[in-house]
Copies of this chain bind each other. A is one copy, B any other.
Amino acid sequence: MTLDKVVTKPHDALAALFAAEMAAMNEVIRRRMASRHAPRIPEVTAHLVEAGGKRLRPMLVIAAARLCGYQGDQHVNLAATVEFIHTATLLHDDVVDESDQRRGRPTANLLWDNKSSVLVGDYLFARAFQLMVETGSLRVLDILSNAAATIAEGEVLQLSAAQDLATSEETYLQIVRGKTAALFSAATEAGAVVAGADQVVIDGLRDYGDSLGIAFQMADDLLDYQGDSGATGKDVGDDFRERKMTLPVIRALAAADDEERAFWQRTIGKGQQVAGDLEQAQALFARHGTLDSTRDTAFEWAARARAALAGVPEDPVRDLLADLADYVVARLR
């Protein structure tokens, strides 16, 4: 796999191809955010939902359904469901502890308070749940309820793994699945299920979503140390300051001598960070080649995503999905 072939953005091509359905989904979102009794809700959500982002998750639903020949309109509701779940997760991620605020962590919830973030997030979850029930498919409900549990489990796991130097690559992968891959794979699987695809196609699209999500999140975790804040929307070193055990740190720690181990113990384990520590962390990554090896692993997951599409019928949309897998890691140096 080379990067040379990535000349246009597959995401933009998919957005253009499914423009009508994405517009219909936006309309569902707008309508379902409305609350007769609590007008404050759309105020809070409009900002988040309409800020847009790439709408990658709902697009995966629509692409998977259409790739499987779906002609109905349930995939639009399903896409809105997935976007609601994603937005609710973002809102709940915004909740901070007083201690975090004291540590000078850049609070994501500048616009509204903890309580609103939690309750409006709950409202979006409930709306997502209602939309899912309307699809009338118990199988879709099963997929999405399992995804919701994996997401919540991964979030709790991330909370307890942060600052824990004993975090393994296996645990990291579980966190990444909860954080990102579970909703990606639920999106592609549910899209295929709603279209009534064969089981082998459903499995292929689910595995594609899983691997794509892992590649995507691994790339994000790497970019956090590589300084491309334009691509991630985060400042360089945010994860370091929040003492997150992402793959570069786990691997640097595995290769560490006693002195280096003491460095990680102090900065990540105890959170005693001083000026120059981030630079020192970068130097240790360079010494052990852990950013390179993380990039290699992200590329492996992207390749797995592409390979998972082997059993999916030949189609231009399939090719775009394959290109998307390359694209999410193409931003890595």
Interface set of A (CB-CB < 8 Å, partner B): 35, 37-38, 40-41, 92, 95-99, 101, 113-116, 118-120, 122-123, 125-127, 129-130, 132-133, 136, 138, 141-142, 145-146, 148-149, 151-157, 159-160, 171, 174, 178
Contact = CB atoms under 8 A, between A and B. Distances in A.
Nearest to A136: B138
4 closest pairs, A vs B, by CB? A123-B152, A126-B148, A126-B149, A122-B152
16 contacts: A37-B153, A37-B157, A92-B119, A96-B114, A97-B114, A115-B159, A122-B148, A122-B152, A123-B156, A125-B125, A129-B145, A129-B149, A130-B145, A130-B146, A130-B148, A138-B138
A160 B122 contact: no
A301 to B, nearest CB: 19
Nearest to A141: B133
Contacts of A155: 119, 122
Contacts of A116: 156, 159
A213 B162 CA distance: 41
A155 B38 CA distance: 9
A13 B118 CA distance: 37
A159 B120 CA distance: 11
B122 A95 contact: no
Contacts of A115: 95-97, 159
B130 A149 contact: yes
A123 B153 contact: yes
Given A96-B114, A114-B96, A152 B133 contact: no
A114 B148 CA distance: 20
A178 B141 CA distance: 24
A146 B134 CA distance: 11
Contacts of A126: 145, 148-149, 151-152
A169 B190 CA distance: 43
A266 to B, nearest CB: 23
Contacts of A145: 126, 129-130, 132-133
Nearest to A144: B129
A152 B126 CA distance: 7
Given A35-B156, A129-B129, A95 B123 contact: no
Contact of A160 (B40, B130, B152): B40
A178 B125 CA distance: 15
Which of A101, A130, A152, A155 has most B Cβ within 10 Å? A152
A113 B101 CA distance: 13
A160 B149 CA distance: 30
Nearest to A140: B133
Contact of A156 (B38, B96, B151): B38
A129 B150 CA distance: 12
Nearest to A129: B145
B120 A38 contact: no
Nearest to A130: B145
Which of A95, A136, A178 has most B Cβ within 10 Å? A95
